[in-house]
Amino acid sequence: MSESTELSPQHVSGVERAAILLLSLGEDDAAVVMRGLGPKEVQKVGIAMAAMPHVSRETVQTVLSDFVNIAQGQTALGVNSDSYIRNVIIKAVGEEKAKGILDLILLGASTKGLDTLKWMDPRAVADVIRLEHPQIIAIVLAYLEADQAAEVLSLLPERLRPDVLMRIATLEGINPVALQELNDIMEKQFSGKTAVKSSGIGGIKTTANILNFLDSAMESQIMEHIHETDSEMASSIQDLMFVFENLLEVDDRGIQSLLREVSQDVLLVALKGSDDAMKEKFFKNMSRRAAEMLRDDLDAKGPVRLSDVEVAQKEILAIARRMADAGEISLSAGSEQYV
């Protein structure tokens, strides 16, 4: 592999850092780490490991310095990466789940009850629940991660979407017995059995999070319907929705942390559709050289479709919300503070 295809320290994303770390650990240790990840994280890291290009010694040393207490000195990126990745994921999540992950379809047949849905492809989840009562659909979507729930919602019949979201908004938690009964139904459907933890799922914030992951046209359509039905609820949801412009309220340290996780290609497209204030927000939190290069790229880039800009901006927002949930940055939307 040529030098130009090497992954340099300056272009390593957060997911790629995790992949390099896991490739640097032994299979057993990497599996222990991966057991602590959720379905989405296992998929993302697994894909990054499989797509990892040649990594220079400098890059490995730079990445491992951040994890010196965990993996100091372990820089053996295995030659037989396919076998390594397969063994690590099987040890981390079990052979049945690994089959789906390795095929990029997160269906864990050995996962039980409602948790099974978190390992499923959104289209498969939609097929499972589309004929259920809207209240059941609302509970299931509230149980999923917001981005997965948004994908599932977009695959449901259009007439169902506002009703389901309004039910999620008014959901203030589920009685443990009722949640267990729903879990039992899912167990029978997937031939498993387990006890599920009670969970305070649903509510206005969950609804806002799901809407944040929908494309703008669908989001506007649903919000219009909710506003016609319950304007107070619509206003409460809108107050909690975090949009790209809200990044102006994030402090400089937060933007700097965010920039380390966002690829330059995605940032370029996202800023192409932004005003000068937003561009300057990012420019001032980059090195002078990086800011100049990004300015030049923006000037040189031709017209970009609005839909592409929205996708890029939502990808950045998804990273920002994940970092906020992990306590790495603080986001604010309206009067609501996310910590």
> Domain with 221 in it: what CATH number?
1.10.220.30
Q: Does the structure show a pLDDT above 60 at 74?
A: no
Residue 108 lies in a domain: no
Q: Kindly state whether residues 22 and 66 are assigned to the same domain.
A: yes
Q: Kindly state whether residues 93 and 26 are assigned to the same domain.
A: yes
Q: Kindly state whether residues 148 and 232 are assigned to the same domain.
A: yes
- DSSP bridge pairs for 333: 336
Q: Kindly state whether residues 226 and 270 are assigned to the same domain.
A: no
Residues 91 and 31: beta-carbon distance below 8 Å: yes
Residue 110 lies in a domain: no
Residue 229 lies in a domain: yes
Choose from 5-19, 66-80, 141-155 the range with maximum mean pLDDT: 141-155
- pLDDT tens across 118-148, in order? 777 888 888 888 888 888 898 888 888 888 8
Q: Encoding tokens for residue 202? A: 């649903």
Q: Kindly state whether residues 229 and 249 are assigned to the same domain.
A: no
Q: For the chain, give the mean pLDDT.
A: 75
CA angle 250, 256, 259 (to 5 degrees): 105
Name the domain boundary from 102, 137, 163: 102
Q: Kindly state whether residues 139 and 154 are assigned to the same domain.
A: yes
Number of domains in the chain: 3
Please, which residues have CB within 8 angstroms of residue 243's CB and are 6 or more apart in sequence? 212, 317, 333
pLDDT at residue 326, rounded to an integer = 76
Kindly state the average pLDDT of the residues 1-8.
50
Name the domain boundary from 240, 267, 285: 240
pLDDT at residue 284, rounded to an integer = 93
0.85 surpassed by pTM: no
Instruction: For 331, list phi and psi in degrees, rounded to 5.
Output: -115, 150
Domain that holds residue 211: 115-240
Name the domain boundary from 218, 240, 262: 240
Choose from 18-27, 59-68, 282-291, 304-313 the range with maximum mean pLDDT: 282-291
DSSP 246-283: GGGGS-HHHHHHHHTTS-HHHHHHHHHTS-HHHHHHHH
